[in-house]
Amino acid sequence: MNMRTRSSAIICTLGLVASLALTAASAEERDSRRSAARSTDAATFARAAKIALTHVATARNPTAGAAGPGGTLWIAERAGTVRVLGAQGLGEPVLDISAETTTDGERGLLGIAFDHARAHLYISYTNLEGTSTIDEFAVRKGRLRPETRRTVLTQTQPYSNHNGGDIKFGPDGYLYIAFGDGGAGGDPHGNGQNLDTLLGKLLRIDPRGGTPYAIPADNPFVDDANARDEIWAYGLRNPWRFSFDSRTGDLLIGDVGQNDWEEIDWAPARSDGGENYGWSQMEGNHPFRGGTEPANHVRPVHEYARTGLGCSVTGGFVYRGSAIPALRGQYVFSDYCDGTIRSLALKNGKVTAVNDLVVNGGEVISFVEGRAGELYVLALGGNIARIDPA
């Protein structure tokens, strides 16, 4: 009786082990199939979305650009000039404020944007005192009218780095302005989490609604006596480049990290604002110097470590052009130090794939979206290139 019981137990045990082994093998096979499928998908995407960078012009330290009247492309140069890209390259400056800017540290002419009617051009620059300044110019029949210049907003900058400076008009017609935390290192003044300063924030204003501007009534902090009304989102270290998806209206921000992590943040078009992206309690998904993750922290949709060549994320655009169908709907970005052009496949605010587009843009400082949705890459050394199918 004992022998039979022991034998039965052994047989049952062997059966269980075999069953577990089969289960494990099945799991391994499933994982292997998923991995193979991902590899196949990546290989298929790489073939379909093969790109090349076509040189179209050389600028003097280009920093930003915007689609202008009549399908033109306007390019900002760091020292303070704006030039229009034509068939023969860049023309003579249509604006020159180089006598009013400073280019020490990370300063200079840092951003330009047109309103939706292309009736006004806005520039973002640091003046001779290092103060971030947003100015407006009227545009008539495609020509800038210097005599209409007026200052919309200023912000004192305590240091010469992390000034941000990007500007864009959102789908709602309001002007969004990105300011870094003010500089130095580690956010010494705690500006990222301080709602009583414009530093370390993404702002939202109506530049034509008041003197010098109006606050949209639905900004998230208009009823908070302890917060600045202009703030749309906060907890940003140096949101050097941000953009709106021209089809969905979703917001994407490339926020430059401190020492370890670069991040890309996302907010849906339906957002009411008020997002806290965590800095300086957090660097990406990671507590910064013993920080505590805020309860309302909105984690990045993508981060990458500074373990390779990357050191400073350069945010781009969701591609909505027609030249490269396989790339359509993907967020294209790069890194100033690494220069590799990459893309994120996104679904409902989640990254489903990170793709290496296997081209290098050099010191990629910015991307520009043309009127037809095609993208241009600006390298600080001067190269302006269009992303074309290879």
Are 221 and 252 in contact, with CB atoms under 8 Å apart? no
Q: What is the pLDDT of residues 91-108, one digit of tens each?
A: 999 999 999 999 999 999
* Local structure of 27: helix, strand or coil: helix
Is the per-residue pLDDT at 21 higher than 60?
no
Task: Count Cβ atoms below 10 Å from residue 248 Cβ, excluding itself.
Answer: 15
* Local structure of 12: helix, strand or coil: helix
Is the per-residue pLDDT at 139 higher than 70?
yes
**pLDDT in the model for residue 206:** 98
Instruction: Sort strands 364-369 and 302-305 into parallel, antiparallel or unpaired.
Output: unpaired
Q: What is the pLDDT of residues 330-352, one digit of tens each?
A: 999 999 999 999 999 999 999 99
Query: Residue 141: which residues within 8 A CB-CB, separation 6 or more?
Result: 69
Rg over alpha carbons for the chain, rounded to the nearest Å, is 25
Query: Residue 29: which residues within 8 A CB-CB, separation 6 or more?
Result: none
CA distances from 80 to 133, 139, 381 (A): 12, 18, 16
**What is the distance between the alpha carbons of residues 67 and 70, in angstroms, rounded to a whole number?**
9
Q: What is the pLDDT of residues 189-201, one digit of tens each?
A: 999 999 999 999 9
Which two three-digit tokens encode residue 30? 């499933």
Is the per-residue pLDDT at 382 higher than 60?
yes
Q: What is the pLDDT of residues 103-130, one digit of tens each?
A: 999 999 999 999 999 999 999 999 999 9
**What is the distance between the alpha carbons of residues 180 and 255, in angstroms, rounded to a whole number?**
9
**pLDDT in the model for residue 33:** 53
Per-residue pLDDT band for 44 (boundaries 50, 70, 90) equals: low
What average pLDDT does the segment 283-299 reach?
98
Per-residue pLDDT band for 88 (boundaries 50, 70, 90) equals: confident
Say which range, 32-36, 249-253, 305-309, 339-343, has the weakest mean pLDDT. 32-36
Length of the chain in terms of residues written: 390
